[in-house]
Amino acid sequence: MKHVLTTVIGIHLFLTMIYSIISPKLQEEWSDKNGLPVHLALSHIETKKYWWKCSVCQGEYLCSIPIRKEVRDSCPYCNDEQPLKGYNTISDIHPELTSYWSNKNIQKIDEITLSEAKNKKYIWLCDCCNLEFNEKLSIVLDKFSNINNRELKKICPYCNKKIPKPEESLGYKKSFLKSEWLENINGDIYNVFANSNDIIEWICRKCHRNYKAKISNRAEDDKCCPYCSNRKLIEGINDLATTHPHLIKEWSSLNDKQLNCLTNKSSYKAWWKCNVCSETYQQVIKDKLTSKKSCPYCRKIKVLKGFNDLATTHPLVIKEWSALNDRESCSVICNSNYRAWWKCSLCKGEYQQTVKKKILMKESCCPYCQNNEVLKGFNDLETTHKHLMNEWDYLNNILLADPTAINEKYQQTVWWICKENSNHRYKLKINEKIKYEKRSLISCSICKGLRRKQEHFVRLKM
């Protein structure tokens, strides 16, 4: 028994001597926390961990003796494997970041190593807008590499308009849209700008159907929902057969679509059968619904023989329709601007006038009957004032006027022969001559003793 004990003690003393010679650093870094000297620990299980105090960082850590012996740099603090406050944390290496570190982070800035945190996102407090945002530590360090320009403003998503500030967000400016916002598809409504031009999906608060619309176009009473604004069809809800059943009577069989396949906003140019004139015509659906009268025949835009043509609506007027016209009276309507020829029932003279004006004028629009134009044998001076032709100086008026081509409204002065003295020639306007005759006054200026300028005229030789 003594022999065995002596052998064990000898081996222990031998190992102690070997470690004391080969690894003096182990003895130096052996921690007092272990409660026993290093040479006594050698007799214990090799995998058991002991406390060591690093000679570099003064940090204490657990490690087994064999691993500590084999690995020179086994300190987890020096290897940046574990944080040691005051030595290898972010606040120790980059103290300038401490003021930007948010309290909302799970870990404190002095509890994380640089290698552990470099590619992770943390919450930062912007020094410009005082708002918090998430960003990788590596990106923040990159922006802080310039000592003279250390500002989070350059990477702050609020300052750089990547994320809206609370007062700029859609949720703040247009809170009424919260009921239409699809958070599972679009994300947080407070992370979207109110003036964004992005086209996203919405759910209508009225019809509860999904649709897409631009964010900036949305307003409280907008018509962005294509179903509620009848731009998209829901049969039985907003089709024409449901919303405007009275149109079924006017829907023509010429159409290749049915009313229940269209809405009131449709641009489909449909055929319609008028329930007044029974004629078919084409018109876009949305125009049909907005106009009071849509039938072009009832509105007198197009001619329908036997319904709105001039021969049907004004049979008395067409009695004056002239054979000179290149169109028939049944091919025009009463409001037409066609300049037609008319034959006056009174003077038998033919003149031109638009159909529209002819219908509108209550009195005769004949220019001859109105004395606006001259018709030989009806209203010419020779016909209406035949008694004056005895005093008309045909020879001297040959270049001035023809009594069969003018009427009493003629404004130029003409030559007359005095009926008292055929040698007297004088000039006078026709209307003045008629006035003198009506009043039985002397019209000859020579007989009245008025001096006249020397004028050249041809004296008729008898």
Closest CA to 424 of 400, 442, 404: 442
State residue 150's pLDDT score.
73
The answer to the question of residue 295 being in a domain is no
117 CB-contact burial (10 Å; exposed 0-12 / middle 13-18 / buried 19+): buried
Q: What pLDDT, in 10s, does the model give residues 112-148?
A: 888 888 888 999 999 889 999 998 988 888 877 776 6
The answer to the question of residue 297 being in a domain is no
* Residue 146 and residue 100 share a domain: yes
> Which range among 24-28, 190-194, 223-227, 457-461 shows the weakest confidence by mean pLDDT?
457-461
Residue finishing a domain among 129, 155, 181: 155
Q: Which residues of 55-83 are buried (b: 16+ CB within 10 A; e: fewer)?
A: eebebbbebbbeebeeeeebbbbbebeeb
The answer to the question of residue 95 being in a domain is yes
3-state secondary structure of 332: coil
The answer to the question of residue 44 being in a domain is yes
Alpha carbons 435 and 386: distance in angstroms, whole number: 15
State residue 264's pLDDT score.
87
Kindly write down the DSSP assignment for every residue of 83-152, as one continuous string. --TTTTBHHHH-GGGGGGB-TTSSS-GGG-BHHHHTTSEEEEE-TTT--EEEEEHHHHHHHTT-TT---G
* Residue 331 and residue 280 share a domain: no
User: Over 90: is that where the pLDDT of 199 sits?
Assistant: yes
Domain that holds residue 430: 371-461
* Residue 173 and residue 110 share a domain: no
CA 371 from chain centre, in angstroms, equals 59
The answer to the question of residue 83 being in a domain is no
State residue 9's pLDDT score.
61
The answer to the question of residue 120 being in a domain is yes
The answer to the question of residue 1 being in a domain is yes
What average pLDDT does this structure show over 233-255?
90
Question: How many structural domains compose the chain?
Answer: 6
pTM, two decimals, is: 0.51
State residue 252's pLDDT score.
93
* Residue 376 and residue 315 share a domain: no
User: Over 90: is that where the pLDDT of 18 sits?
Assistant: no
Structure tokens at 84: 């040691």
The answer to the question of residue 300 being in a domain is no
Q: What pLDDT, in 10s, does the model give residues 384-429?
A: 999 999 999 999 999 999 999 999 889 999 999 999 898 999 999 9
Structure tokens at 310: 């001039």
What single letter denotes the amino acid at residue 344? C
State residue 21's pLDDT score.
47
